[in-house]
């Protein structure tokens, strides 16, 4: 499915994804530094992945991990620096939230360090009961995995 936003397109077509670009961005991101290409490929294959395109060039990405019934986790959202400041994050999020397989979900989850304002526009809030949320968090996990290899 494609969503047209002026000169940009958001698509969930996995064949359009520029996996080299996605991996290149993620491996230097604060949340996935050092991530391996094989891990990126598996993450895309097991998610609903969205690309943002300017013509034939991919300039943004996000993926949703979901059971398509009750829960979704939004991950790896980015727009490349040269295309930031054009509202593409909002356009990407609007397309994700309109996706037919992501309707009627009871709970969405995401983690962000610096984009609370963007996600707040789409109904995301801090957890109502943070004491009920648990996690296993391994900062630098991909870097350490590379050192072990």
Give the model's confidence band at 148: pLDDT under 50 very low, under 70 low, under 90 confident, else very high.
Answer: very low
In this predicted structure, what is the pLDDT of residue 81? 94
In this predicted structure, what is the pLDDT of residue 139? 84
Work out the number of other CB atoms within 10 angstroms of the CB of residue 21: 16
In this predicted structure, what is the pLDDT of residue 112? 93
Measured at the CA of 106, the angle between CA 51 and CA 125, to 5 degrees, comes to 75
When pLDDT is averaged across residues 110-124 and rounded to a whole number, the result is: 93
C-beta of residue 47 within 8 angstroms of C-beta of residue 64:
yes
| Tokens (6 digits) for 83 | 């295309």
User: Which superfamily is assigned to 2-148 in CATH?
Assistant: Gcn5-related N-acetyltransferase (GNAT) (3.40.630.30)
When pLDDT is averaged across residues 116-120 and rounded to a whole number, the result is: 93
Q: Tens digit of pLDDT for each residue in 39-73? A: 999 999 999 999 999 999 999 999 999 999 999 99
pLDDT mean across residues, the chain: 93
Q: Tens digit of pLDDT for each residue in 134-145? A: 999 888 888 876
Give the model's confidence band at 149: pLDDT under 50 very low, under 70 low, under 90 confident, else very high.
Answer: very low
DSSP 8-class letter at 82: G
């Amino acid at each position: 499915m494609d969503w047209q936003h002026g000169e940009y397109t958001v698509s969930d077509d996995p064949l359009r994804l520029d996996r080299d670009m996605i991996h290149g961005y993620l491996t230097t991101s604060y949340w996935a530094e050092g991530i391996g290409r094989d891990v990126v490929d598996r993450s895309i294959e097991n998610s609903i992945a969205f690309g943002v395109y300017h013509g034939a060039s991919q300039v943004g990405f996000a993926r949703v991990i979901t059971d398509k019934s009750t829960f979704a986790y939004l991950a790896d959202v980015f727009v490349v620096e040269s295309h930031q400041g054009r509202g593409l994050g909002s356009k990407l999020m609007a397309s994700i939230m309109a996706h037919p397989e992501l309707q009627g979900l009871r709970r969405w989850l995401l983690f962000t360090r610096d984009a609370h304002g963007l996600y707040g526009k789409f109904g995301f809030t801090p957890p109502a009961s943070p004491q009920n949320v648990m996690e296993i968090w391994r900062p630098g996990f991909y870097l350490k995995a590379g050192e072990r290899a």
